[in-house]
Amino acid sequence: MQRDFYRRFLREAEAVSKLEHANILPIFSYGEQDGLPYIVMPYMPGGTLAEYMAKRGPLSLKEAQWYLEQLAAALDFAHMHGCVHCDVKPANILLDSDGHVILSDFGIARVAQSEIEPEQSEAKHAEAVMGTPDYISPEQALGRVLDGRSDVYSLGVTLFFVLAKRLPFRADSTIALALLHVHEPPPSLALIRADITPLLDRVVRKALAKEPEDRFQTAQELSRAFSAAVVASETRSATLSPSALALFDEKEDHTNPPPIIASPRPIVRVKPMWASTWPGFQLRRLLYILAALIIIVVTTGFTVSFMNRHPEAPQTVVVIPTATPTQAPMPTNPFTIIGNWPHGANAFFDQNHQYHIINNQLNNAMPAPFQDYQVQDFKLSVTMLETSSKKDSPDYHGVIFRVAPDQSFYYLFEISPRDNQQYAFLRFSSTDKQQPWRTIKSNRSSAIISEDGKSNTITIESRGNTFLFTVNGVPLLDKPITDPFTTEVKSGQIGLYVENQGEEVTFSRLYVETLK
């Protein structure tokens, strides 16, 4: 074992010594003396990127862009010379005295297959799972043959970490963590950090695609797409109002090639799905099963930009991007599908199977969309109990529905028990250039219970272009409300919503009936 290690150590040192690049830590000398291999490299006074972040916290978008450009150049250079790093992470990224990043520690790098001696290829494959589990690519975790796209995935995890100062996946064991990388979509960065636009989020999620062919094919493609998304976000910030910015139409493509990705659910679960074609022995498969049984749900916080508003002058709420919905019918009780609801410190189910949404964000709303289902005509009822809110502050909460996948259209029905027992029915449409937000109906209703500890049950019946709203069994109007601003009938997702900072609402008894 020691002899094989020394041979591998020196072979890989020789391979890396050929990588003369400004952003790759150079090797001055290497060899063996008194039976011990050695490598001589320069000292980097800035320490590691991980140490830098421990002092500074998450990087700004500009910092991340600057470091990503340098790392991408280094990785693509290594890949062109037949070397896959296999362990890209902040602890292996050094900073020089001028703040430039230097990629280091090619200790487990894979040289091109043609450079591997035939008798060593089997050992190479066995070593493929080496690396840091937090940053390992799915194919590396599965022991498959690696190419530069494995480093693109690890670079994507690194980018996620430097922007959020948390990893996309967390688990109690190496096997459990590997399963998350293999099976689970990462949480949305837009739910964790307020200045992450949907376009930036899509770039990161494409880098973290499970299959190599679905990712950016080179590190520089990732870097260029991220830079374009940063520029796009800055352009919008400089030219658009906050309300227009919040629901910016992300259909315009700023990447080349365009990212073809699916939005993840912000809940991390392990699905016990293993095909008989998986590599490895029965023991490994048993370990996977045992690990899946003990994994608990990893929670993520989420934040969505929203400017507080009065119903008569609404601002824009950002609804979380969602994947292409399935064709399965809407379940009668969506709360039975826990995995399709956002989970985190601000959104969770209690032991009574009631769903809590806590808004502790300044100038941010907390929407919770029910993922992967679309419905057009339906009847919905839900009971809402406001358990806390700020005094002398609006306390709006309610339901969002017919939410378009690209966020270009949706309705919002909400009540404010303590603010003069108000209700409001609003519509957002990005195609309405004159006034994207329209208040269809807003008024007071004595049917809304404003007493502490008392809940309100709302019922929404949506048929075509007309809507019926009932609060605690009392119809708000004698006849259905018609949307006067559009004749187009759309389908979309449903969701729950808490608007104001300091407000906590418990949702229960949610039922949805699809109308024919």
Bridge-based pairing state of the strands 304-305 and 409-416: unpaired
Percent with pLDDT over 70 in the chain: 75
Query: Alpha helix locations (H) across 165-218?
Result: 174-183, 198-207
- Rounded CA-CA distance 496/367 in Å is 6
* pLDDT at residue 403 in the model: 84
Higher-confidence position of 87 and 116: 87
Which of 98-102, 241-245, 451-455, 508-512 comes out lowest in average pLDDT?
241-245
Query: Mean pLDDT over all residues of the chain?
Result: 77
Alpha-carbon gap, residue 90 to 161, rounded angstroms:
9
Catalytic annotation present for 195? no
Domains located in the chain, CATH noted: 44-246+272-294 (1.10.510.10), 306-514 (2.60.120.560)
Average the pLDDT over 90-95 and give the result: 92
Positive/negative CA dihedral, 63, 66, 69, 73: negative
Helix, strand, coil shares of the chain, percent, nearest 5, are 30, 25, 45
Residue 138 CA to residue 123 CA, distance in Å, equals 19
User: How far is Cα 77 from Cα 28, in angstroms, rounded to an integer?
Assistant: 19
Our separate counts of H helices and E strands in the chain read 11, 21
| Angstrom distance (rounded) from CA 27 to CA 71 | 18
| Active-site residue identified among 4, 76, 87, 151 | 87
> With pLDDT > 90 as the criterion, what percentage of the chain qualifies?
34
The predicted structure's pLDDT at residue 460: 96
- Considering only 102-111, 131-140, 313-322, 372-381, which range has the smallest mean pLDDT? 313-322
Amino acid identity of residue 90, one-letter, is: P
Interhelix angle for 174-183 vs 282-294, to 10°?
Answer: 90
The neighbouring-strand residues paired with 348 are 356
